[in-house]
Structure formats: structure tokens, C-alpha cells
Structure 1
Amino acid sequence: MQHVNDTKKLLKQLDERERQSLIRIKETQELIEQNRRLTRGILARASQLAAALGRTNDRT
């Protein structure tokens, strides 16, 4: 009976580790997506600024 209880305990620990790993994976995926959105925004803004500077330089 002790062997069965030990096995259940180990399984419970393994399940908890897997659950924690899945949580970390999901958080990492969310951070990656947030980074992509921010990068797209920065690149779009840089493009706008470059275009604005180009127009300013054309006037001088």
C-alpha cells in the first residue's frame, strides 16, 4: 500500500510541475506577442518620422 501512496505522491508532483511549465510557456508566448506588437508599433512610428524628416529636408 505504501508503494501505491508513494506513486500517487510522485504523480501529483509531476502533474504540478507540468502545470507550472505550461503556465510559464503561456506567459512566455504572451510576452513574445506583446513584444511583436510593440516592435511593429515602433517600426511604424520610425517610418513615419523618417518620412516626416524627408519632407522637412525637401523644403530646405
Structure 2
Amino acid sequence: MAPRKAYLLRLDPRLLEALQRWAGDDLRSLNAQIDYLLRQSLKQAGRKIPPPEETDEN
């Protein structure tokens, strides 16, 4: 699995609270919920996520 990158995200407190509730309803962490929503938005917009680079682990 490709390493994940950290990114500081500043949100309106009301938006953050709504996302936390939604994540809880879907039994996801807040981070997983944001990742899921961003991936869905990219898919709806017809944007592609490049496949992960293969690494040789021999």
C-alpha cells in the first residue's frame, strides 16, 4: 500500500461537527469519511485517481 500523506485541513466548526456525525452514522473514522467523500466527488466529476506505483520488494 502506498504511504499516506498528512495534510492540515481547516474547517468551519459546524461543518466538522456534521462530518463527525455522518462518519459515526457510517461507522467510519472522520479521516476515512473525508477520504470516502473526496473519492466519491472525484468519481462523480469524472476525475481519475492514478493507480499506486508498483514497488519491487524482493
Same fold per superposition (TM over 0.5): no
Q: Which has the larger radius of gyration?
A: 1
TM-score (norm 2): 0.31
Bigger helix share: 1
TM-score (norm 1): 0.30
